[in-house]
Amino acid sequence: MGGKVYAAGDADEAVRVINEIIGEKAKGKTCCAPILLPEGGAERRDVSLLIQTDLPFQGSNEKLLGEIDVGVTRADYAIAETGCVVELAYDDALRLVSSLSRIHIVVVEEATIMPTLQDLAQRIRELLTGKATKPTITLIGGPSRTSDIELKSVLGVHGPKEVLAVLVGEEGGSA
């Protein structure tokens, strides 16, 4: 649908790739939402503290989030058939990091890729059955696109102009 994918074999390589992207592309402030990645076995660590940022992720500070040039988030899932990434947000601030930034960098774990939209729907149904609190579910298919009355396509009017994915997993490797 649009965007670019970078490969990373593990959390450390993902941090390196993200910091390189920020170094190349950031023209303003950057913000990173919490990103928990596998550390080995069942252990996970928050790598957001290792990513170059100007603004701390502060759950409810929408004023600061509106100043983001580059936003970094973690996808909860991705869909192979469409190339979409999926965010489940219980806090609107998480959604704002991905939707208000000029450039959105999204970290996708290989293990979270679902083959089809139907597979994703089934997984989410299972995940949310019986839960009192429901998240906002956002499917991101690439940069924001819109057209004017003359059908001239414009990128980035209602969201990021650029969406970059960092795929983390065994199939990853140097980008």
What's the pLDDT tens digit per position in 10-61? 999 999 999 999 999 999 999 888 888 887 667 788 888 788 887 777 655 6
Give the integer Cα–Cα distance in Å for 87 and 90.
10
pLDDT in tens, 41-53: 677 888 887 888 8
Residue 106: which domain range?
4-168
> In this structure, what CATH number is given to the domain that contains residue 105?
3.40.50.10420
Contacts of residue 30, defined as CB under 8 A and 6 or more positions apart, other chains included, come to 22, 51, 52, 53, 54, 55, 68, 69, 70, 71, 72
| Total domains, the chain | 1
The whole-model pTM stands at 0.86
Report if residue 125 sits inside a domain. Answer: yes
Query: Model confidence at 167, in pLDDT bands (50, 70, 90)?
Result: very high
Report if residue 75 sits inside a domain. Answer: yes
Q: For 67, phi and psi rounded to 5 degrees?
A: -95, 5
Give the integer Cα–Cα distance in Å for 40 and 54.
29
Report if residue 174 sits inside a domain. Answer: no
Report if residue 175 sits inside a domain. Answer: no
